[in-house]
Amino acid sequence: MEGRSQTHSTDTNKTVGRWLRGKTSLPERLASFFRLPLHTALERLSFKLKYPLYSSPLYRWLLQGKSVPNLNYTPTDPWLGDPAKGRDILNGKIELAGQTITNPAPLWAPLGAQSDWLKEYHSFSWLRSLRSSAGDHARRTAREMVKRWIEDNSRWRAMSWEPATTGCRLSNWLGHYEFIGSSADIDTRQSLHDSLAQQARYLSHCLPAGLAGVNLIRAIKGLLYAGVCLPEGKEWLNHALNLLSKELSQQILPDGGHIQRSPHIHLEVLRHLIDIRATLHAGGEAVPGSIISAIESMSPVLRLFLHADGGLCLFNDSNEDHGWQIDMVLQRAEGRKQPLMSAPQSGFQRVQSGRILLIVDAGAPPPPGYDLTAHAGTLSFEMSIGRERLISNCGVQRHHPQWQWVPRATAAHSTATLAETNSAHLTPFGGLAKRPQNVTCRRDEDGGEISLDMSHDGYTERFGITHQRHLTALAKGAGIEGCDQFALNAIGNHNSRQEFAIRFHLHSDVQASTNKDGEAVLLRLQKGGGWQFTCTDAHVALEPSVYLGKAGEIRRCQQIVLSGITLSKDTVINWSLLRVTAKKPPAKNNQTNLWDL
């Protein structure tokens, strides 16, 4: 068995290494396409088959249309940028998507630029940072860059005119119109207006273009902005509203969660909807009830995803993000002030007892087409004490060549693994080839204690084993008790024995040490709080880990690992994490004392 596990691990490492180098096989690409829902696959295929038409001189002529002398309305982008990044841009240093390029050349396709950098560059999301750096130099630079883009990219190209990127560019240009266009000369404004109209016509022709999830919301937002702001935009506005109404009914679940199950994407979609609501209202257009309802239902779920430090939990491609930005979104959403505690359709649970907070992934991964950012972290959880994080998932560095892939694995989450395999089959395109199909969760509250009984079948097909997890938050914040069970089912091989590992990744600020007997781990938070993790049903060890919760930072940390081999009957691992009293207890039997660490 050990040999088979090592062989599987070696094969997995080779596969991941190939993905990191950007190499994928034709069977992998075809399999990814055929996993899409049929209507999405057909729309995507139809869009790609039209590439020769879009790049033809005839189509460029069709996009010209009537000249647009003035705009009906100009929205205002309310979000704050990064002044330091704005100053860097003025000096020719452009940091986007985790990559920095100085004095890009050629200007719109610099050598060495990664695809994510190019998408963000062509979306003009960095206008916000230029604006925040203030000064006439920033304004002139922004205007010149927009002018250069129009001159150099009037002909359709797959990358620069990708629909989601085009939608972002439209909303960014219109949202910063006062910054880039209000004081421009007549010719520059005319060129800007005409380009806006051409890009809007293109989006109106091609959407939904096989897009799904947040990417389609980005594209729709750009078309809607153009529909509100441009004189000929009524048809575009109606098209955008129809698309948006359909997507909100599919993407926003009954409990208010977003279908992609990513706190980061949930935040972004809510922010787009807030912008759309404000633009429609200020532009004199009626705001559909579906948009109002979506904002109202998404706000409490966003609060569910927040630790007391104001940052997001780290599920499915999420970082902490900036707490002040999240506060701005919640303030502008004007929604319910209390977090949702249980989101059964989204599959997340929030458990609070005293100063203890648990946020638990208790749901199945998102369906095909919406699983681009899905991780194999089913039944993982995070725990914080007051404003300090104690147990976490590893997080992700979305644009780092290594740390955008490895953290998707089950082992990068605070949950259990069997034979060092993932509970969902990850693919190089971000989706899942296989996933847990049956994920259950029951929540009980009794006598001040809150319990979750959960299970998933991600290991059933391969090993005939169901992972069951029971978590209980004790009354008054005294601690948590847990039980992980590997239950053999009817199709399981009762003679099969598999290595298991149950991981608890510690935040990078947590100090940890095992006691003399090796059955307990003593934990200390920065503010002095002490906790003891205990397990007698498995081998307990402290191992290195990594914390990627803050964008651009890779921090070393530790993880508690419970390991062993499953039995020929159900394997039950009980563990507890209890608060240590602040009063210094006497040391006994020469054992390590938490307060002497």
**C-alpha distances in Å from residue 390, one per residue of 287, 309, 353, 358, 508:** 42, 12, 15, 10, 9
pLDDT in tens, the chain (597 residues): 334 344 444 444 554 554 444 456 677 777 788 888 899 999 999 999 999 999 999 999 999 988 899 999 999 999 999 999 999 999 999 999 989 999 999 999 999 999 999 999 999 999 999 999 888 999 999 999 999 999 999 999 999 999 999 999 999 999 999 999 888 899 999 999 999 999 999 999 999 999 999 999 999 999 999 999 999 899 999 999 999 999 999 999 999 999 999 999 999 999 999 999 999 999 999 999 999 999 999 999 999 999 999 999 999 999 998 888 999 999 999 877 899 999 999 999 999 999 999 999 999 999 999 999 999 999 999 999 999 999 999 999 888 777 878 899 999 999 999 999 999 999 877 789 999 999 999 999 998 999 999 999 999 999 999 999 999 999 999 999 999 999 998 665 555 689 999 999 999 999 999 987 778 999 999 987 899 999 989 999 999 999 999 988 999 999 999 999 998 889 999 999 999 975 544 444 444 444 343
Q: Is residue 202 part of a domain?
A: yes
Token pair 């109202």: residue: 296
Is the N-terminal amide bond of 57 cis, ω within 30° of 0?
no
Residue 443 shares a structural domain with residue 544: yes
> Is residue 147 domain-resident?
yes
CB 279 within 8 A of CB 76: no
Look at the chain and report how many structural domains it folds into.
3
In a domain, 367, yes or no: no
Last residue of a domain, one of 289, 318, 341: 341
Distance in angstroms (rounded) separating the CA atoms of residues 267 and 263 = 6
> Given 319, 341, 363, which residue is the final one in a domain?
341
* 412 domain residue, yes or no: yes
Q: Are residue 302 and residue 207 in the same domain, yes or no?
A: no
Which two three-digit tokens encode residue 198? 């051409």
Do 445 and 531 fall into the same domain? yes
**Same domain (yes/no): 269, 227:** no
- Residues 423, 281, single domain; the answer is no
Q: Does a structural domain hold residue 356?
A: no
Cα 412 to chain centroid distance, Å, stands at 15
Q: Which of 391, 406, 333, 389 is nearest to 559 (CA)?
A: 391
Inter-residue contact 506 to 565 (CB < 8 Å): no
Domain, as residue range, for 165: 35-232
CB 467 within 8 A of CB 455: yes
Contact 385, 426 (CB under 8 A): no
Is residue 104 located within the same domain as residue 211?
Answer: yes
Question: Are residues 308 and 406 part of one domain?
Answer: no
> What is the spatial distance between Cα 115 and Cα 517, in angstroms, rounded to a whole number?
51
How large is the C-alpha radius of gyration of the chain?
Answer: 26
- Are 389 and 422 found together in one domain? yes
- Domain edge (last residue) among 325, 341, 357: 341
Written as one letter, the residue type at 578 is: L
Q: Which two tokens stand for residue 236?
A: 């575009």
In a shared domain, residues 218 and 257: no
Closest CA to 200 of 243, 229, 241: 229
CB neighbours of residue 516 within 10 Å? 10
Whether 257 and 215 map to the same domain: the answer is: no
Domain containing 495 — which CATH number? 2.70.98.70
> Is 195 in the same domain as 282?
no
> How far is Cα 64 from Cα 191, in angstroms, rounded to an integer?
11
Helix axes 136-152, 83-90, angle to 10 degrees: 60
Report the DSSP pairing between strands 571-580 and 555-565: unpaired
pTM attached to this predicted model: 0.92
Contacts of residue 406, defined as CB under 8 A and 6 or more positions apart, other chains included, come to: 16, 412
Same domain, 178 and 263: no
364 in a domain, yes or no? no
CA torsion angle 166 169 171 173 (round to 10): -140
Q: Is residue 394 part of a domain?
A: yes
* Tokens matching residue 190: 């005319």
